[in-house]
Structure 1
Amino acid sequence: MDPIPPSTTKSWSIHTRREITSKYEIQTRVGSGAYSDVYKARRLSDDLPVALKEVHDYQSAFREIEALQTLQHSPNVVVLHEYFWSEDEDAVLVLEYLPTDLSSVIRTAKKERRGLSVGEIKRWIVQILLAVDACHRSSIIHRDLKPSNLLISADGVLKLADFGQARIRLAPGFVSINDNTQPQGQESSVFQQVKTENVGQEGRVNLMEGPLGTIEEYGTSDEFKTKDAFDEVDKETNIPDVDTSCLATCTTSDVEEDFFKSNYSYEANEGGGNDESALLTSCVGTRWFRAPELLFGSTNYGAEIDLWSLGCIIAELFTLEPLFPGSSDIDQLGRIFTILGNLSEEVWPGCVQLPDYRIISFSKVENPSGLDSCLPNRSQDEILLAKKLLCFDPAGRATAMELLHDKYLNEEPLPVPVSELRVPSSNHGEDNGSSGSGEWGDHQDMDSDSDFDDFGGFDITRRPGGDFSIRFS
């Protein structure tokens, strides 16, 4: 495959860094995103194929290293071999090389019109659940779960990757060093763990092969579901990590400029690192997999946002089509309401507290189609599995561990062994492994910034006090 041409001169700086080239032969660039470039390389000491991820954003690199070191013993999380970080240079993560991802599995099955067998779907789901459970047991919210971030080895082992948006909750027993502290080298741990209660991996490797075992084999799970804000602040990065919902991506031609000045202040979240009241950003994740609370501007969320994304992924495994392929954030909400019905206190007590609940309103959906209509020819157990995740109220979403115990995954036909999974030879027909770029091939507009373009009619009403409400038809 021909190398991808460099987007900027700096993207090739990795070739000039002696500490890297002395240990790795850089072969070709296999992935590129706004904030990182990924190269396939060979470790000179033993010829091991690796992926070198050059991250151009400090905060993103810090988060990824911190999360991967915390999850280093999780069999369904990509392995971080080492990293390089020096002053005035981008961080370079040395990751295990994985040739394909779940989006390629879905795309190949659709292209070949063969679908995925129930046993295959169950094994993919089990591996995804193990990855998500590992994160949540370690108090990590991934915040960008999607098929292209679920990488797959040539022998069928699925591993969660791309932790650049991940957040680590300061749970009891953990100490996270200040975000402004730069790592001093490969030997110094970015995440200093004081004690490791309830994050063991006992019995989990055995789940990789053969049928699922009994509930007892999984051990006790401490559910990580919280309604509290994180005990850390999202700092200024190249990706604005601030209080912003779908409305903040509108063009100024759509909504008057003073709306943003009065409602979305960039300085509002630039407090000190010790401000325990600091909130998270709602502008995380990829739109098609973004939870409703994020679309309504919530900055007070927990691991439940990953569970919504998980539901979207599972539904796509069933149908080989994205469940909510919104062309904008407003369109995304409209598609969700068309299927699940309108958001109200009846389905989610407390939803009126969402920052944009009284700003964004839709015409009442009289007859929502329901998830059943979106999952034709699927069993009731399969539909119920999706419903356990795709509900408005975050507290009603089943945890990954709860789903591992689900009837659907523990009855015939059982999950096939990993060795029997059909794995595409490479990503998009090319060699794009471990890119973490989040590119979806045919679905290029998933992160479009224009929320009102091509959506349809809407009315903006100015309310007393200078506030707005926007109603979509």
Structure 2
Amino acid sequence: MSNRTRSWSIHGRPEITTRYEILGRVGSGSYADVYRGRRLSDSLTVALKEIHDQQSAVREIEALRSLHGAPNVIEMLEYFYDDDFEDDAVVVLEFLPSDLEAVISNVKRRGSAITPGEAKSWMLQVLSGVNACHQAGLMHRDLKPSNLLISTGGVLKVADFGQSRVLQDLSFEEATLKEANSEKDKASNQLTEADYLKELEFIREKSKFEDNTSCLDTSCTGDSKDEQLGSYTEEEPTGALTSCVGTRWYRAPELLYGSCSYGPEVDLWALGCIFAEMVSLVPLFRGVSDIDQIAKIITVLGDLNDENFSGCSNLPDFNKICYSKIENPTGLEACLPNRPIGEVNIVKRLLCYNPANRVPAIELLKDRYFIEEPLPVAIDQLTVPARDEAGKISDGEWDEFRDVGSGPDDIDEFGSNLMGVTKTEKGFCTSFS
């Protein structure tokens, strides 16, 4: 279903206004508006997400229902939705006042750095939330710092499931076990430093990952910056996948080359980009188009070929794009200067061309990096800035990254300005100076 015009219908819907006081809009995107609200029964502050796209609404609701009680995943309190879609769906979420993007921006504005202990603490929570998604047979497909929301107490939760897809149904036994563990999982969000090792062991024992190869408080997809970076939510037929998902800077190579046969490994690539950005304070691959995004990746990681990604030459758009051979790639170490080798190794284990070589979240939770000195900072000791106090990059500063399209047609917009790109019979070719 195509996008609907944004409405303010939430204000005139008695089923909502008799239960919640609408305190004002706090976020807006291409597919959703988010309001801060107060539940009248107990004065609980909530986020009310009004979703203007039916497919996104169904995905969000179904994903959050299946993940109820999961560790480090945002909690859906209730939802309002009708099958005829006469009114926009409204999802009521716990209110989380910050996100990882605000944390990164705040540290950068202060001229400091995220310490190794802080990086471990944030990354453990991200891995826990992503593992919960993958364990439930669900891939997120739009992981990025602004979709990792944070409470005032430092608890990080994965949010914005409008692009998610279910890969498999839980068996009855798995669903029963998940429900039995829900209260224990909730308690794991309130860890102290002394609890980390115990929590890691608990996650190892209870988690089983199946490898399926092939917003402000808002959780909004497609705010002004995301639109500039190419954040997609494309309608997909039942059972089919599209490559037009995610936000460009965090999009896996197989998606950039048009693959419609992929699994949760696309989330693992995004995790590598997020962790690198967290410790370096700048996005790792800042492409201005999908073509330029690939160029940025191979400049750092080297040429993409069948030796490091078997079958990549069969990807739909692989033979349409020709890049000059990279003799001396930059390497990830150069992109993460003065950072511990353990951090670089985590990024390397995620940013692999071959999806099958990317290490699942549950395996990374076992990495010795997280149990070596310095230990993760206690969650309640993490600095959590409010989004409006974080000094985040303004829309004007994103102009150089403004989205001008995606896929092969990018060349028509960029012409010779894009790293020496020229058209060929197959598509186009670019060389590097």
**Percent identity over the alignment?**
49
Residue 64 of structure 1 corresponds to 60
Query: Is residue 288–residue 446 contact of structure 1 (8 Å, CA) maintained in 2?
Result: no
Q: Secondary structure at the match of 1:11?
A: coil
2:427 alignment partner in structure 1:
469
1:363 and 1:152 mapped to 2: Cα distance? 42
1:192-231 pair list within 5 angstroms: 196=175, 199=178, 201=181, 204=185, 205-206=187-188, 208-211=191-194, 212-213=196-197, 216-218=201-203, 219-228=205-214
Instruction: Indicate the residue corresponding to 2:150 in structure 1.
Output: 152
User: How many residues matched?
Assistant: 395
- Displacement, 1:206? 3.6
Residue 197 of structure 1 deviates from its aligned partner by 6.7
In structure 1, distance between residues paired with 2:111 and 2:6 = 42
Offset from partner CA, 1:324-381 (integer Å, 9 cap, x none): 0111111100000000001011111121121111111100011001000000001211
Q: Report the counterpart of residue 329 of structure 2 in structure 1.
A: 368
Change (3 A) 1:351 1:41: same
* Structure 1 residue matching 2:342: 3-state secondary structure: helix
Matches within 5 A, 1:26-41: 26-41=22-37
What pairs up with 1:286-435 in 2 under 5 angstroms? 286-424=247-385, 426-429=386-389
Q: How does 1:119-158 map to 2 (within 5 A)?
A: 119-158=117-156
Q: 1:455 aligns with which of 411, 414, 418?
A: 418
Match of 1:471, SS?
strand
Query: Hey, what does 1:47 align to over in structure 2?
Result: 43
Residues of 1 paired with 2:158 and 2:380: CA distance? Answer: 19
- 1:81·1:94 contact (CA, 8 Å) conserved in 2? yes
Counterpart of 1:428 in 2: which secondary structure?
helix
Question: Distance between the aligned counterparts of 1:102 and 1:332, measured in 2?
Answer: 22
The 3-state SS of whatever aligns with 1:388 is helix
CA gap 1:226/1:98 in 2 versus in 1, 3 angstroms:
same
Residues 407, 447 of structure 1: CA spacing in aligned structure 2 closer, same or farther, 3 A cutoff? farther
Contact 2:6 2:52 in 1 (8 A): no
Give the 3-state SS of the residue equivalent to 1:213 in structure 2: helix
Q: CA deviation at 1:429?
A: 2.7
CA distance in 2, matches of 1:42, 1:413: 40
2: distance between equivalents of 1:350 and 1:322?
28
Give the whole-Å Cα distance in 1 for the aligned partners of 2:33 and 2:396.
17
**How far apart are the structure 2 equivalents of 1:130 and 1:342?**
32
Amino acid of the structure 2 residue aligned with 1:428: D
Q: Match of 1:80?
A: 76
Once the two structures are superposed, the pairs formed by residues 239-254 of structure 1 within 5 Å of their partners are: none
* Paired residue type of 1:12: W
What TM-score comes out, normalization by structure 1 length?
0.78
Query: What secondary structure, in the 3-state scheme, does the structure 2 residue paired with 1:196 have?
Result: helix
Partner SS, residue 223 of structure 1: coil
Give the C-alpha shift of residue 199 in structure 1.
4.6
Compared CA separation, residues 195 and 220, structure 1 to 2 (3 A): closer
Question: 1:114-155 CA deviation, whole Å, 9 max, x = no partner?
Answer: 211211111000000000000000001000000000000111
Q: Distance in 1 between matches of 2:356 and 2:103?
A: 31
Paired amino acid for 2:207: S
Give the match for residue 100 of structure 1.
Answer: 98
Aligned partner of residue 46 in structure 1, secondary structure: coil
Q: Structure 1 residues 333 and 197, CA, compared in 2 at 3 Å: closer, same or farther?
A: farther
CA distance in 2, matches of 1:308, 1:440: 26
Q: What is the correspondence of 1:13-28 to structure 2 with a 5 Å cutoff? A: 13-28=9-24
Shift of 1:461: 2.7
Q: Measured at CA, do residues 195 and 417 of structure 1 come closer, stay the same or move farther in structure 2, by a change above 3 Å?
A: closer
Alpha-carbon contact 1:287-1:446 (below 8 Å) kept: no
Q: Is the 8 A contact 1:138 1:199 kept in 2?
A: no
Deviation at residue 446 of structure 1 after TM alignment: 6.0
In structure 2, do the counterparts of structure 1 residues 403 and 194 end up closer, same or farther at CA, with 3 Å as the change threshold?
closer
Query: In structure 1, what residue type is equivalent to 2:263?
Result: G
In structure 2, the partner of 1:161 is: 159
- Secondary structure of the 1:52 match is strand
Distance in 2, matches of 1:35 and 1:396, equals: 34
Unaligned segments of structure 2, at least 5 residues:
215-221, 223-228
CA drift at 1:447: 4.4
Mapped to 2, the partners of 1:227 and 1:312 lie a distance apart of 20
Aligned to 2:108: 110
Question: In 1, distance between residues paired with 2:61 and 2:25?
Answer: 21
Counterparts of 1:119 and 1:110, CA distance in 2: 17
Q: Is the 8 A contact 2:139 2:263 kept in 1?
A: yes
Q: Answer 1 or 2: which has greater helix percent.
A: 2
